[in-house]
């Protein structure tokens, strides 16, 4: 019963991390504590694209790091520059990000937070093998308990037998029918 519950939780978390893709959302795992306490390491944030003109102060946005194009950042809009660019900052950070973000560079606005689903990605990125192995073992055990292997079918005496049946006695039920 506990194993079924574990599998249900794991399946639900997986569903919640994939379902946003069906409605045009993009999931991103939180890999730093810069948005604590609202977003924690291992949470998944689902963002959806919006027009740059619709972005407002207070919204959480996802954008490419201006200093490292391969890295994405999820921070809150805390203001705008006189030219209309966005000033962003992580909730846990004391000062705004070094470079303002152009509205058209925003990849999406946060719409949904899914706690803990991104932890395996964080563990993988940080090469933390122990929690990954523990999760794999837990999932395997839960799967084995929730869905135990079916016992083999009872022996039916079909042509899959490998023993020689010549020494066995026949009962009237399995004796060949007499020919007329």
Q: List the domain boundaries for the chain.
A: 15-118
Buried b (16+ CB within 10 A) or exposed e, 95-111: ebbeebbebeebbbbbb
Superfamily of domain 15-118: Umud Fragment, subunit A (2.10.109.10)
Residue 131 DSSP one-character state: H
pTM of the predicted model as reported, rounded to 2 decimal places: 0.62
Contact (CB, 8 A) for 25 and 112: yes
Q: For 57-106, what is each residue's pLDDT tens digit? A: 999 999 998 888 788 999 999 999 999 999 999 999 999 999 999 999 99
Q: For 4-24, what is each residue's pLDDT tens digit? A: 666 676 676 667 666 666 667
Which residues lie closer than 8 Å to 12 by C-beta, 6 or more apart? none
């Amino acid at each position: 019963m506990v194993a079924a519950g574990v599998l249900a939780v794991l399946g639900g978390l997986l569903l919640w991390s994939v379902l946003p893709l069906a409605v045009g959302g993009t999931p991103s795992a939180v890999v730093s504590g810069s948005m604590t306490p609202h977003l924690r390491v291992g949470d998944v944030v689902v963002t959806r694209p919006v027009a740059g003109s619709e972005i407002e102060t207070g919204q959480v946005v996802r954008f490419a790091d201006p200093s490292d194009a391969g890295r994405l950042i999820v921070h809150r809009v805390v203001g705008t520059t006189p030219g209309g660019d966005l000033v962003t900052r992580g909730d846990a950070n004391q000062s705004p990000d070094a470079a303002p973000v152009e509205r058209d560079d925003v990849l999406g606005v946060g719409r949904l937070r899914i706690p803990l689903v991104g932890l395996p990605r964080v563990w993988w990125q940080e090469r933390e093998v122990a929690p990954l192995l523990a999760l794999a073992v837990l999932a395997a055990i839960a799967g084995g308990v929730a869905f135990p292997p079916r016992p083999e079918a009872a022996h039916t005496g079909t042509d899959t037998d490998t023993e020689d049946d010549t020494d066995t006695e026949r009962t009237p039920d399995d004796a060949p029918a007499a020919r007329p």
